[in-house]
Structure 1
Amino acid sequence: MFLTRGPLPLLPLWERFFKGHGKYFSIYVHTDPGYVLNVSSGSPFYGRQIPSKVWIVSTLYGKFVWILH
């Protein structure tokens, strides 16, 4: 599982690593609710986005402020 708030770091490298080995793994990309993962239909990440249902609004001195919907 890839956890990200934005674009996947080193996406081309990960696509190359996973390409052609789909039967050996399942990929999921867990993102912030407003982020849309932009990958081609041939990417192993295509259609694998699971958006979060919780928004992290801000942090104050290491404490999270959450809004649930």
Structure 2
Amino acid sequence: MSDLDRSSDDTSVDSREEKSQDSELQFSEDEETLIIRMFNLVGERWSLIAGRIPGRTAEEIEKYWNSRYSTSA
């Protein structure tokens, strides 16, 4: 019976990790517009852009930008 309990605990941990990873890349339209405008002004200076968006880190913004707007050859 403990195996059954443990597997259900593992599943809930996995689903929480997936949700937290997905929520990292969810930005509002206002945030996205600001990121685009700031990027056009200052380029890849993620810390400057993050300083204009409360609650966001430079790493989150860079990851969002690269996943959304990065062009790979």
The answer to which structure, 1 or 2, has the higher relative contact order (CA under 8 A, 6+ apart) is 1
Give the TM-score, by structure 1 length: 0.28
Q: More helix per residue: 1 or 2?
A: 2
TM-score for the superposition, normalised by structure 2: 0.27
Q: Which has the higher strand share?
A: 1
